[in-house]
Amino acid sequence: MSFPIHRPRRLRHNKVIRNMVRETLLTPNDFIYPMFVTFGKGVRKKISSMPGCAQLSVDEAVKDAQHAYKLGIPAIILFGIPEHKDEKGTEAYNAKGIVQKAIKAIKDKVPDLVVITDVCMCEYMSHGHCGVIKSGKILNDPTLELLAKEALSHAKAGVDMVAPSDMMDGRIMAIRDILDGNGFEDIPIMSYAAKYASAFYSPFREAAESTPAFGDRRSYQMDPANRREAMKEVALDIEEGADIVMVKPALSYMDIISDVKDSFDVPVAAYNVSGEYSMVKAAAKLGWIDEMKVVMEILTSLKRAGADIILTYHAVDAARELNK
């Protein structure tokens, strides 16, 4: 039978009923808040392409971490902007590096906040690529050693979770081996498993000061045209020891999020990346959209697609909205 017996509008009649039958529930507990940390004191350097975001000195990062935690956001992810860069990315695994300092300071003041670190070399290399370079080629296997050292240095500083984003083959196994071999077998790995070579990353490169000095990252990040390849990448990372797998970017890749959720029995994260964030901010500034309504719709759609965890620069504003 159809109309008039069936009237779907009955369950949309008022807000209470709509809330009762809502299929997807978004909460602040779904969010990870990305933060950029840099050297200095009292530093809050605005990122022009990402309104509302800034490079933060450690003392300012602690304040923002405390604020996020009070709003119910359970975790942050740290990206470092070092004082010095070189062709070996030595600041990435320096025990006194900026991320290592930030981990200790934040865990000291907000011990129950989960601190995650991005594990990659691009912010620390003078050339801006995610790995060791020889004769213009990004070398896979020599990079694994540096990534493993970086992850271990974060573990020694007190991190709760590491998140390798470089897309080198075998990096999950290399990191799992070095963590387990040094008594950090309880630290989980959230792998950027299906990370695409996307144009949506442009604002991030300003924020992290990680624009490649030459070429692009298409030889190690995934082709945006490929869907089946994502399943292979995710399966390999799980086999190597990933505890959580991530799809990045999120908004134009909801088919991949859904595929991964349906195919693998592990938590799925989605990174609502800088370009997605900045487009919303730009349209809102021009008065073309209602910012918070669009933000909440985007984040809800990502969770509906299958994301258990959402990394988003909107996290603080969205948590504030959800807490009303």
Asked whether residue 1 carries a pLDDT value surpassing 80, the answer given is: no
CATH code of the domain in which 96 resides: 3.20.20.70
Alpha-carbon distance 65 to 109, whole Å? 9
The residue among 202 and 315 whose pLDDT is bigger is: 315
Structure tokens at 274: 């800088």
Is the peptide bond between 249 and the residue preceding it cis, with omega within 30 degrees of 0?
Answer: yes
Q: Is residue 54 part of a domain?
A: yes
Q: Looking at residue 131, what is its pLDDT?
A: 80
Q: Looking at residue 122, what is its pLDDT?
A: 86
Q: Is residue 201 part of a domain?
A: yes
- Domain limits at 198? 25-322
The residue from 101, 248, 281, 303 that is catalytic is 248
Q: Which residue has the tokens 């992290």?
A: 208
- The CA dihedral of 169, 172, 178, 183, to the nearest 10 degrees, is 180
Q: Is residue 3 part of a domain?
A: no
Q: Is residue 268 part of a domain?
A: yes
- Work out how many domains the chain is built from and give that number: 1
* 53 neighbors 314 (Cβ within 8 angstroms): no
The total number of residues written for the chain in this structure:
324
Q: Which residue has the tokens 């086999």?
A: 239
At 82 the three-state DSSP class reads coil
Residue 274's nearest CA partner among 79, 69, 106, 56 is: 79
Residues 6+ apart with CB under 8 A from 29: 72, 73, 74
Helices 274-285 and 291-305: crossing angle, nearest 10°?
150
Alpha-carbon distance 142 to 59, whole Å? 35
Q: Is residue 269 part of a domain?
A: yes
Asked whether residue 71 carries a pLDDT value surpassing 80, the answer given is: yes
Q: Looking at residue 215, what is its pLDDT?
A: 62
The residue among 126 and 253 whose pLDDT is bigger is: 253
Helix (H) or strand (E) holding 151: helix 140-157
The residue from 101, 107, 195, 281 that is catalytic is 195
Q: Looking at residue 213, what is its pLDDT?
A: 63
Q: Is residue 277 part of a domain?
A: yes
Q: Is residue 145 part of a domain?
A: yes
Q: Is residue 154 part of a domain?
A: yes
pTM recorded for the entire structure? 0.95
Q: Catalytic residue at 195?
A: yes
* 194 neighbors 260 (Cβ within 8 angstroms): yes
- Give tens-digit pLDDT for 136-150: 888 999 999 999 999
Helix (H) or strand (E) holding 20: helix 15-20
Asked whether residue 207 carries a pLDDT value surpassing 90, the answer given is: no
- Give tens-digit pLDDT for 271-293: 999 999 999 999 999 999 999 99
Helices 291-305 and 254-263: crossing angle, nearest 10°?
30
**Helix spans in 29-82 (H):** 58-70
